[in-house]
A and B are shown apart, each in its own frame.
Chain A
Amino acid sequence: MTAMLNAGYVIGSYAATFGGIALYTWHLLRRARRAAEQVPPQDRPWT
């Protein structure tokens, strides 16, 4: 029973980690697309 409960905490920590990273990445890329719509590609130094 304890082992099952501990496995839940382990899986929960991985889910929170990967979920948090995915959520932040999604937010960042959406923000990038919105900002890029207002700046022509030739003005972006990295392109």
Chain B
Amino acid sequence: MNPLINMDTRATSTRFTSALGLATLIGLGWLAVFGLFLSPNDRVQKTGVRILYIHVPSAWLAYLAFVVTGLASAGYLWKRTRSLTLDRIAGASAEVGVLFMGITLVSGSLWGKISWGTYWTWDSRLTTTAFLFVTYIGYLAVRDLGGSHEQRARRSGVLALLALVEVPLVHFSVRWWRPLHQQESVAKGKLSDLMLFTLFVGLVSFTLLYVWLVMHRQRVAALDDMVDDGGLDRALADRRSEGMP
């Protein structure tokens, strides 16, 4: 059974998310076929270039996820737009961003083994990326510290805005410190048409996946909050009934 369109997902799914899930699966299938079989080897990187079709889109999506977390947090902290839905979107986007950042680090390590002969080196791009990854794991831990939903939203909102500063630091690290990590290949037109198309398939399918995951994750968070509120209401009712003569 297809896990993305399984009827069991109806807990948090709608017709739209089911269609989106199907489109995501088709996109990921295309990515695997083009990335592994149909795209050509690179003149310099040989077969190692195939890793970049997942590495680059996952890095871009991690950036996007953390920017969405920052914007949603700013939206919550601004009184006019304050809504717990924004806080839940921020948390959901951060969690999915950590997933994409993890994929970026693992695929980057394997690419590094092929290209540099080592899984890891403490150059500026890799170090700042690892730091960003750890920062957002910390952000997720802070969200789970307890307290009311509003307390959670306030403290994690402030942290998200502080953490957002790291995103441009990671992105521009290859220009500022000239590390071992290569600079942007896409903008400099170093890829053939089929390579660019495969990268585009990766970017589109990962974007669809991101939207699908965030929608489900924020609905799970909404359900969790409803369960918490229900539990609190029951506890208060029990307490009142105990106090009654």
B11 contact set on A, CB distance < 8 A: 29, 32-33, 35-36
Which of A13, A26, A28, A36 gathers most chain B CB within 10 Å?
A13
B211 at the interface (CB under 8 A from A): no
Q: Total interface residues on B, using CB and 8 Å?
A: 41
Give Cα A14–Cα B217 distance, bound, in whole angstroms: 24
Cβ of A7 and Cβ of B47 under 8 Å apart? yes
Within 35-52 of B, Cβ neighbours of A (below 8 Å) are at 35-36, 46-48, 50-51
Q: Total interface residues on A, using CB and 8 Å?
A: 32
B4 contact set on A, CB distance < 8 A: 25
Give Cα A3–Cα B87 distance, bound, in whole angstroms: 47
Cβ of B107 and Cβ of A3 under 8 Å apart? no
Cβ of A38 and Cβ of B230 under 8 Å apart? yes
Q: A13-B111, A39-B223, A44-B223 are in contact. Are A29 and B3 (CB under 8 A)?
A: yes
Q: A17-B58, A20-B102, A35-B11 are in contact. Are A9 and B51 (CB under 8 A)?
A: yes
- A residues near B, CB below 8 A? 3, 6-7, 9-14, 16-18, 20-22, 24-26, 28-29, 31-33, 35-36, 38-39, 43-47
